[in-house]
């Protein structure tokens, strides 16, 4: 609680000289051609050296994704491998790296828990989200550990300079699914606010085909979400703000391994229920100290608490992790062509669980600097970061990029970046499976990008990259974590956005070759080819759209003995603006009723695929009156 009180206090300190034009930042969250995550400041997407994808709230409303993971599956180079049904644990693979090698932020706060590195994206309600930004490729100079594959940042709902507006949303769908939310937002030139809450639940599906009789039931999911965002200007050059988010609920699990009873020397089934409580609070002070010096201080606290219980026994497993974080960044405009970022950040992780770990806390402190030159004939970016980790000592990473405009419509970018990731507490100390001798992972990434404005309504972005990871951490045949010699990932991505005859289209294609260099095997659960296509058009008050997603086959294990079949999914959607305040949405996912799986599980010596939802229908109504 003391950390929470400190965060609240800092958000309302009235006159401290520190960081950026927040109204500009808040307005930028509504725009599709701006980016914040790249350098923790507002910039044009085309100016960022990182390959990036942005979804605004308008995009989310148009695409009607059921969940955040459904939205991320549309990003070229991003693959989602969920373990069955809504609320199932997702693997997020950015450019062939695993979930733990990519950083997830919510309103600037790190969200992955310190034990398993799961970011709990499956628990974030899509109606609570204002914007999603995805950086593809290492961004370790700015963010440090975990940002080897990329960065995903979620911004919760924001207010605007307008009269108070109520937002009521209700949907009903297949598998007993409902999603209801209510919120109010508004503001003026000085203050902006949003407060919203939601309740999402589903009767679910039976995720496993073969298992103990106790698992032959539908796996339900229930999630209550609350988010708050508040910002206020104090004069022309100083702004303070507060963000808070909380998700609590329950998801039912199938456990094909069963429970070993040492008294009877037998394995019996379980009925597992996981209660989760995910929360974060952050505050900032943002000041324009001089015409050329902008400074921003952010303080945050996040918690990941999970308790899993078995209805058929007295077994209870709890894993709670807590993180305090601090980031101070200074953006200096040296002249019309040169800018400089100077920053420092620190965070501390703590673990409280029913499983005893050899160590229960760890801190990391860092300083970083990045220079950018913008010239008529070329631009450069050069960054250096020094991390001091309590357990693994010093780590230095650096990055560099060169941008050459071939003509006003075409740019070529060359970049190099390094990264590292410290092993999690599970990697190091989990009983029977952890390995205290693990070393941190280190990466080197090389990339060539071509960005082309083909016409006023058509833009093409392509990337060719290679990432080498030294001391990559994988589980061996006995599920014990080990450092392998090296992993190598080579890939190609292409994203085409085009508008023609009133139709808005977005095509993303990725080809990835992720391999263990020692064995030559493909890394587990990474598909080598993915494709995503969205096509939409608005006819006055009526809109229609369709999505096609194709994913090639992969392997469930690092030995490549357990193949997972590829799949293709078709979805259609429509909307009707009944009035200026009422909108109706209808969508059908998996229209062709395909049976598919994204991950396998073992039972009785064999492997089976987790079930995913077949054809599903969802109808929603949204009411947005002005108060």
The whole-angstrom distance between residue 206's C-alpha and the CA centroid of its chain comes to 26
The model's pLDDT over 23-35, given as tens digits with 9 standing for 90+, comes to 478 888 888 899 9
Looking at the 3D structure of the chain, how many domains does it have? 1
Please state which of the ranges 146-160, 473-487, 493-507 shows the lowest mean pLDDT.
473-487
Say which residues have a Cβ less than 8 Å from residue 424's Cβ, sequence separation at least 6: 100, 114, 115, 116, 117
Residue 270 burial (C-beta neighbours within 10 Å; 0-12, 13-18, 19+): buried
Work out whether strand 238-253 and strand 219-233 pair parallel, antiparallel, or are unpaired: antiparallel
66: tokens are 């059921």
Confidence at residue 209, expressed as pLDDT on a 0 to 100 scale: 72
The model's pLDDT over 512-541, given as tens digits with 9 standing for 90+, comes to 999 998 899 999 999 999 999 999 999 999
Is the CB of residue 84 less than 8 Å from the CB of residue 221? no
Residue 473 burial (C-beta neighbours within 10 Å; 0-12, 13-18, 19+): buried
Sign of CA dihedral 451, 102, 393, 350: positive
Is residue 4 scored above 60 in pLDDT? no
- Give the torsion through C-alpha atoms of 348, 351, 352, 354, to 10 deg: 180
Instruction: Quickly tell me which residue has 């991505």 as its tokens.
Output: 493
CA distance 221 to 61: 23
Confidence at residue 263, expressed as pLDDT on a 0 to 100 scale: 59
Q: How many CB atoms lie within 10 A of CB 85?
A: 24
The whole-angstrom distance between residue 68's C-alpha and the CA centroid of its chain comes to 8
CA distance 383 to 282: 26
The DSSP bridge partners found for residue 264 are none
Secondary structure class of 143 (helix, strand, coil): helix
The model's pLDDT over 249-299, given as tens digits with 9 standing for 90+, comes to 998 877 655 555 555 555 555 667 789 999 999 999 999 999 999 999 999
Instruction: Quickly tell me which residue has 């000041």 as its tokens.
Output: 287
Region 196-208: mean pLDDT is: 89
CA distance 80 to 67: 12
Confidence at residue 83, expressed as pLDDT on a 0 to 100 scale: 78
Secondary structure class of 31 (helix, strand, coil): coil
The model's pLDDT over 408-454, given as tens digits with 9 standing for 90+, comes to 999 999 999 999 899 999 999 998 889 999 999 999 999 999 999 99
Instruction: Quickly tell me which residue has 């200007």 as its tokens.
Output: 233
Q: Provide the b/e sequence for 368-406 (b: ≥16 CB within 10 Å).
A: bbbbbeeeeeebebebbbbbebeebeebebbbbbbbeee
DSSP state of 591: T
CA distance 237 to 223: 39
* CATH number of the structural domain spanning residue 563: 2.40.170.20
Q: Which domain holds residue 235?
A: 2-623
Confidence at residue 81, expressed as pLDDT on a 0 to 100 scale: 84
Is residue 3 scored above 50 in pLDDT? no
Q: How many CB atoms lie within 10 A of CB 459?
A: 19
Please state which of the ranges 15-24, 60-69, 121-130, 317-326 shows the lowest mean pLDDT.
15-24
| Between residues 222 and 607, the one the model is more confident about | 222
Q: How many CB atoms lie within 10 A of CB 246?
A: 16
Global model pTM greater than 0.75: yes
Give which of 318, 308, 217, 315 is closest to 260, Cα–Cα.
315
Which uninterrupted H or E stretch holds 2?
helix 2-11
Please state which of the ranges 49-58, 588-597, 599-608 shows the lowest mean pLDDT.
599-608
Which uninterrupted H or E stretch holds 428?
helix 425-429
DSSP string of 213-262, one letter each residue: GGG-S-EEEEEEEEEEEEEEESSSSEEEEEEEEEEEEEEEE--TT-EEET
């Amino acid at each position: 609680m003391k950390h929470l009180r400190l965060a609240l206090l800092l958000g309302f300190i009235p006159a401290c000289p520190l960081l950026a034009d927040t109204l500009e930042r808040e307005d930028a969250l509504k725009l599709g051609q701006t980016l914040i995550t790249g350098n923790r400041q507002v910039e044009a997407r085309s100016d960022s050296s990182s390959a990036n994808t942005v979804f605004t709230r308008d995009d989310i409303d148009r695409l009607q994704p059921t969940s955040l993971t459904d939205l991320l599956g549309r990003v070229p180079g991003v693959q989602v491998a969920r373990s069955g049904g809504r609320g199932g644990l997702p693997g997020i693979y950015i450019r062939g790296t695993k979930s733990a090698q990519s950083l997830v932020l919510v309103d600037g706060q790190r969200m992955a828990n310190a034990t398993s590195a799961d970011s709990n994206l499956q628990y974030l309600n899509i109606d609570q989200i204002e914007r999603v930004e995805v950086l593809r490729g290492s961004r370790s100079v700015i963010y440090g550990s975990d940002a080897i594959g990329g960065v995903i940042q979620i911004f919760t709902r924001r207010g605007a300079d307008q009269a108070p507006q109520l937002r009521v949303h209700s949907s009903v769908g297949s598998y007993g699914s409902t999603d209801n939310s209510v919120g109010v937002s508004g503001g003026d030139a000085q203050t902006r606010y949003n407060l919203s809450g939601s309740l999402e639940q589903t009767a679910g599906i039976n995720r496993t085909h073969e298992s103990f009789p106790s698992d032959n039931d539908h796996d339900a999911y229930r999630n209550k979400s609350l988010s708050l965002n508040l910002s206020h200007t104090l004069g022309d050059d100083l702004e303070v703000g507060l963000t808070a988010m909380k998700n609590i609920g329950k998801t039912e699990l199938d456990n094909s391994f069963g429970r070993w009873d040492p008294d009877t020397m037998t394995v019996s089934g379980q009925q597992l229920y996981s209660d989760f409580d995910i929360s974060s609070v952050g505050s900032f002070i943002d000041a324009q100290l001089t015409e050329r010096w902008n400074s921003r201080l952010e303080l945050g606290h996040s918690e990941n608490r999970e308790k899993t219980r078995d209805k058929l026994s007295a077994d209870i497993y709890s894993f709670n992790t807590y993180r305090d974080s601090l980031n101070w960044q200074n953006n200096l405009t040296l002249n019309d062509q040169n800018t400089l970022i100077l920053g420092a950040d620190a965070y501390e992780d703590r673990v409280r669980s029913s499983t005893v770990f050899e160590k229960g806390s760890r801190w990391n402190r860092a300083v970083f600097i990045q220079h950018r030159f913008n010239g008529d004939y070329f631009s450069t970016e050069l960054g250096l970061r020094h991390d001091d980790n309590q357990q693994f000592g010093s780590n230095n990473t650096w990055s560099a990029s060169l941008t050459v405009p071939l003509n006003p419509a075409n740019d070529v970018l060359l970049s190099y970046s390094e990264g590292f990731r410290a092993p999690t507490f599970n990697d190091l100390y989990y009983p029977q499976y952890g390995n205290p001798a693990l070393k941190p992972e280190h990466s080197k990434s090389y990339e060539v990008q071509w960005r082309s404005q083909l016409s006023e309504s058509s833009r093409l972005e392509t990337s060719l990259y290679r990432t080498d990871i030294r001391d990559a951490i994988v589980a061996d045949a006995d599920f014990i974590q080990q450092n392998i010699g090296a992993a190598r990932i080579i890939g190609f991505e292409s994203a085409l956005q085009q508008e023609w005859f009133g139709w808005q289209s977005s095509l993303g294609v990725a080809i990835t070759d992720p391999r263990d260099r020692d064995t030559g095997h493909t890394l587990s659960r990474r598909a080598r080819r993915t494709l995503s296509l969205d096509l939409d058009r608005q006819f006055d008050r009526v809109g229609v759209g369709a999505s096609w997603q194709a994913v090639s086959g992969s392997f469930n294990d690092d030995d490549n003995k357990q193949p997972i079949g590829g799949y293709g999914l078709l979805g259609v959607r429509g909307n009707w603006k009944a009035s200026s305040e009422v909108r109706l949405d209808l969508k059908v996912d998996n229209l062709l009723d395909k049976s598919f799986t994204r991950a396998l599980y073992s039972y009785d010596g064999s492997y089976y695929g987790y079930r995913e939802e077949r054809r599903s229908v969802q109808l929603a109504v949204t009411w947005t009156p002005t108060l």
